[in-house]
Structure 1
């Protein structure tokens, strides 16, 4: 059974069309009537009719305008124009709206029957095609996990098959030009392995769902104690930017596995690679990074480009640590001097080797940024990665340090702002009591001295003035209301002495409470 909406401002026309249709095609339609364009738009959204008979000329919203609105929400509905006028005057606009049928008033039985038969034939054909598409989609959905497993295993095991890798990525629905591999390696220690062995199936299933909900990627089968994630990247962009994004993804995956299963894998991340075949190299680099023994044994997320060669480590560790400490203390001058020292050392060790110097300073800044409580700024990453000369690299690196300092300062300010907002909410809750600055500072876990300083910085008032403003504001409201006496208002807003309250009120407003009430009465 189909649903037919008849939109016409004349009730007799609507009823006549319904009666004619019922007689010709009994039990074939349910009917919805709309007396104007506005009602037609509303009912089309609520009832979702299969077919719509729309009068062109109606009061208010005209038929073509109503069709335009209905098409936005229900493009699959088939519309027939019903008009007493020459249809060709409206043909161009109607065709642009997808209208292919029209009926001239008064409708003839044969013409109406012919139009309805064509509409129903088209609708049935559409339903058949949709059913076939759903069957094919269901078959493909069952096939896709097998394709994904096949492709990821080929990349992990470096096996060669007759099937082309690009053909498999096409079947998996991934347009792959650039991407990287990430490897999660789970602990082999006796205690960790026992936990892993018990939850491995659930871990794999839930992690795969989680990873795919976060980004378009391929997730390999659990091979021993490894899971590989192949991540396509839409735009190549700056290498430093992509490394930051890859590490951030790794942190998300690490948090998920730790929180859900209590396991702490090591996550290796390979470099960006060109094409599907380049993923093999990225996967190898990710695996090597995960299995290497870094100088920082607590480093659970290891990007291949961060894993420096042994001969470079001594210099890098000392210089990077100095820069990191200066950034942590937000010592801007020292941080600028440190990045200059790093560049001087790099240019002395590798004179003329811009690629090595650029990669080194990128790696140091990335490593330092990962250890700071801020999101890595990205505005200048492209400039940093593309620097061609010494001066350009110095400028870009210095600007990047400034961005890190600014980000840390903003993050610190945001934390302090949050603390002050909590303190203000506490004062708004308790200002009617004998609340003190010490109590408020304790509520946000700050010392009274530091709280006083920060509170004045962010509000422009000291604690006492802000508290007084809260109390006097409430007193003014109660005085204007007129229901409470002066003494009752005094106690209601947190003062114990009416005389003191009166003095504070006059000092703040310029008038006594009695004068304020009288002014309001006048």
Structure 2
């Protein structure tokens, strides 16, 4: 419903215009009358009309002055100027204020309604464009958020090695010189786990506030898995690496102050990895953040902990060959390939140089590896609680036996999960898509429904069905749209909305891409 204000010093003129409008359109409502420009300004501030019929010549503040004042606080209001003075100067002055409609007194009913109709249509078109733009913006933001989460996961799991910081700089439009990882988590003060609603609220809060307090960085927030959120901090300036600890502590202090103002029931803890100068090394920082967080969670009364390379956790491998083997090993575990896992584990052990290495170093390297495996299983949505127990007194031979035994148990568990659980989950996801295709469902919402991580759900879905999640959703929507087009009583816009699209133009493009015909062409051919 569009709101109309009538401003005219002649009461009879106001009543006539109001009567014509009230009897003409159901979608337009007269919300008030003003007898001069000053009152029109006050009523415009209070009621925010969509359209004002404004008489030019009024005592005190005239119509031209009123338009200027109103446009200072609301440029969206449309004006239809009304005057008995047919002079170019008056018309020119209001046109300079962006006013397009100008009718003369005594105005005929036809002229008044035609002018009102033009302005009404202009407002409707603008609102539709805003709604479409907002819908596209929301879809784009959602897509960017999903893409960013998947990218962070791939990067931190060492699955992306072919991009440099120089390429990142070109992509982001700012110079990236180094980067590091923080791993955030929620920890209940009691033994109860945070509820899904509490976790989601915290996740949104974290993303919003990190952007505010870390303006000097490019921030990339990963997906929340097992109540943990990895965040990449990409440094824009040379030398930032040298001051990263001070800057990180400042950010964390600011974040914790904001956190205390909220009503979260859980405590926020943060593990921080070291900064690195190359993009392919960021997974080192992620590994460090994992271990720092593990150590932190065993320490009372601390909010955050930096990884200590000299500390008790582990030594980060400096040999790139170890990292390559580690990556291949994680991939093989993910695929449930027992033979390949055992071969790669032997290769991993040989890269450690166990013949010339102290048992304590091997123990630390194994602890790092199995922390990564545990994290990966959580990311994939696989529940596996057991962890190997390495004793300080274990010789290297015992460590190797324990490591191999545990690894074999893990990969066998993954095999069972892939063959049984995942298969059922994917069919459940398919059913979910076919039931909810008309809603604004996303990869994330479907993955959450079947309790898989978005990253792994996406890979598993494509492996099993031969197409991506979005391709399958699109196929279902277009198939349903084809069926509905046989009902000539439904408009194309109705069909577009009923199958889950909010932009008719986009729906038309997608439909033609898949079928080779526009929706109108398809309907015409189908109903012959």
Normalised by the length of structure 1, the TM-score is 0.45
| Bigger Rg, which one | 1
Q: Which has the higher contact order (CA 8 A, sep 6+)?
A: 2
Normalised by the length of structure 2, the TM-score is 0.45
